[in-house]
Structure 1
Amino acid sequence: MGGHPDFLITVPTRGDGRDPGRGDRGDWRPGARRPLPSLVTDPRPGAFGPFDHLAQIGRAAEIAALGGALVPFDPAGEESLVVAAGLLRQSRHLRVVAGFHPGVATPVYAAKFSASLQRFTGDRLGWQLDVDLDPAVARSQGDHLRGADRYARADEFLTVARGVWHEEGYTYEGRFYQVLAGGFQPPNSGLPFPRVHLTGTSPEALALSARHADVHLFTPDQDVQAGIEELAALAEAQGRRVGYGLRIPVLARDDDDEAWDEARRLWVLTGGEEAGLPDPDPRTRLWPGFARISGDGSGSSGLVGSYETVAAGIRGYLGQGVTTFVLEARPAIEETYRLGERLLPLFAKEIEHAH
C-alpha cells in the first residue's frame, strides 16, 4: 500500500556544524568555537544568541518547503519544548513536533501550555511522547517508574490530556492522575489537539499507539513491515487508524560517489579508521555508520547515495505504508536546504496529489 509522503527535519538540540565532533554551532560548545582571524572584526558579540542557529534551521525547513520539524527530547540538550515554542513563533507555516517524556509535567499542565501554543501559532504543534527511557536517564529526570508502569502512566497521561482538552467539568480517577471538575474554557477550548507521535516495537508500545497515536514512528533498524502489520490489527480492534512514520538519517549528494566521499570524510573526522568504513547492508542498502558521524552517538542506520538513490530507498518504505519521514542530516542548515531543493522535487507528484 503506497501513500503520500510528508517530510520533517530533525532539529539538533546539542550542537551542530560541519565537524560533528565540535558541534559548536548554536553556542553549544563555546570552548570549541574557532576564533576569527585577527584581520576580521565581528560586530555581533552578544547579539547572536544560542537560539539563533536553531531558528535558522526552522527557517531553512520552511523555505525548503518541508512539512515540519521534530525537536527530539534529549536530556543532555536544549529543552525541546522551549525550542519548539520558539520555532513555532518565528515561522508562519512550519509544523513542529516537540518530544518530551510523560514525567515532565502533569497532563493538565502539558495540555494547558499546548493549548496556548496552538492558539499562538495556528494549531501547528505536535507531541512525541518518549515513554521507555533508559533507566539511568529516567532516574536523572526524577522518574523512577519502570517496565509496564511507564506505558500505563503514558496511557493515563494521554487520556487525561485529551479529557481536559475536550470536556469542561472533566473528572478522572486513575493510578497516576486524578482530576476533579477540570477542563478548559474558551478561548483555550475547541482547539485541535496536538498530533501525537509515539515510538517503540514492544507489545506495550504498540498497544499504546493503537489507543492514542496519530503517527507511530519506527526506525530502519526495526522490522518496520512487521510492526505496521501488528499495529494495524491492534488499531483496527480499537476502531482507529494510525499513520506510520520513519525516523531515518540520510546523506544525499548529486551522485553516489560524492555521497560516499562525504560519508568517508565524516567517518574519519569522527575518529574512524578509513579502512574500517562499514559497508551498507547488501539487502536493505542501509548504512550503519550514522551512529558515529552523528556527533552525539545517536542515530540508527540510514541511507547514503545520490538524491535518486535516497529517494528510491524512501519509496521502498512508502510501499510498506510509511508516509511520514523524519529526516536526520547534519550540518542541519545546509542539509535542510539540500534536501528541500534536490530530494523533495523527486516526490513532487506524490506531494501535489496529497494536497
Structure 2
Amino acid sequence: MSIEFIGYIATQPGSEIHPRSGAIIQPDYVKTVAKAHEDAGFDRALIAYHSNSPDSTLVAAHAASVTSTLKFLVAHRPGFISPTVAARQFATLDVFNGGRTAVHIITGGDDKELRADGSHIGKDERYARSDEYLSVVRQEWTSDKPFDHQGTYYQFEGAHSLVKSPQQPHIPLYFGGSS
C-alpha cells in the first residue's frame, strides 16, 4: 500500500489559531505555499471549496503555473455546473499542468452552505445526484465518440469532449467524508 502526503494551499495567510488576514486572494502567497509544498516533497496539495471562497480550479491553475512536480487535489461540489462542463474544465487543467490534477468530490457538507450556492436537496438525494454526475464525468473523459445520457438529474444528447487527460484511464477521483 502506498501513502500519499497531501498538503493544503489557501489563498491568504491564516489558520485555526491565526485569523485570516489581507485580501481573500493573494497570488504571491499561493505561489509561496505551492513552492514550499513542492520543495518539501509533498505529493499533492488540496485546493479547498467553500460557497464563499475563490474558485478552486483557478487557484489550482495558478499554483500549477509556479510549480513543476506538485500535484493538485481540486475540491469540487457536484451539481452546481453541468458534469460535461466540469469534465472539460478538469481535463483542460490537467493538460495544461501535465497530468497533475485529481478531483476531490464533496457531496456532503453543511446544509446552510449548500443553500448559499442554490442546493436545496437532502443528503440522500445529493449522493444520488453525485453518483449520476460522476458517471457522466467519467464517460465524458473516456468516450471516444458522442454519447447520450438520460438520467434522473441529467439528460445529454451527443455529449463529447475533444479534451482528454494525459492520465489514463482518467483523472483520479477522491471521495471522502463522514456524513
Same fold per superposition (TM over 0.5): yes
Matched, 1:53 2:29: yes
Which amino acid in 1 is paired with 2:76?
Answer: F
Aligned length: 176
* Corresponding position of 1:258: none
Among 154, 157, 162, the alignment partner of 1:180 is: 157
C-alpha contact (below 8 Å) 1:166/1:183 kept by paired residues: no
Matched, 1:122 2:98: yes
* Distance in 2 of aligned mates of 1:179 and 1:19: 43
Root-mean-square deviation (CA, aligned residues, Å) is 2.0
Matched, 1:24 2:21: yes
Q: Secondary structure at the match of 1:103?
A: coil
Structure 1 residues 5 and 154, CA, compared in 2 at 3 Å: closer, same or farther? same
* Distance in 1 of aligned mates of 2:34 and 2:165: 28
* Corresponding position of 2:54: 78
* Corresponding position of 1:189: 164
C-alpha contact (below 8 Å) 1:80/1:100 kept by paired residues: yes
Cα distance, 1:19 vs structure 2:
8.9
C-alpha contact (below 8 Å) 2:9/2:45 kept by paired residues: yes
- Give the fraction of aligned pairs with identical amino acids, expressed as a percent: 24
Matched, 1:133 2:109: yes
Give the structure with the higher percent helix: 1
Which amino acid in 1 is paired with 2:164?
Answer: S
* Corresponding position of 1:11: 9
* Corresponding position of 2:177: 200
Q: Secondary structure at the match of 1:104?
A: coil
C-alpha contact (below 8 Å) 2:78/2:130 kept by paired residues: yes
Q: TM-score, normalised by structure 2?
A: 0.89
1:284-299 correspondence to structure 2 within 5 Å: none
Deviations 1:40-80 (A, max 9, x none): xxxxxxxxx71110111000011111111001112233222
Cα distance, 1:17 vs structure 2:
4.2
* Corresponding position of 2:44: 68
Structure 1 residues 190 and 114, CA, compared in 2 at 3 Å: closer, same or farther? closer
Which amino acid in 1 is paired with 2:89?
Answer: F
Cα distance, 1:139 vs structure 2:
0.7
Deviations 1:237-261 (A, max 9, x none): xxxxxxxxxxxxxxxxxxxxxxxxx
Q: Secondary structure at the match of 1:200?
A: coil
* Corresponding position of 1:109: 85
* Distance in 2 of aligned mates of 1:21 and 1:189: 41
* Corresponding position of 1:161: 137
Structure 1 residues 194 and 19, CA, compared in 2 at 3 Å: closer, same or farther? closer
C-alpha contact (below 8 Å) 1:107/1:160 kept by paired residues: yes
- Deviation above 3 Å: which 4+ runs of structure 1? 17-22
* Distance in 2 of aligned mates of 1:127 and 1:156: 16
Which amino acid in 2 is paired with 1:182?
Answer: A
Q: Secondary structure at the match of 1:6?
A: coil
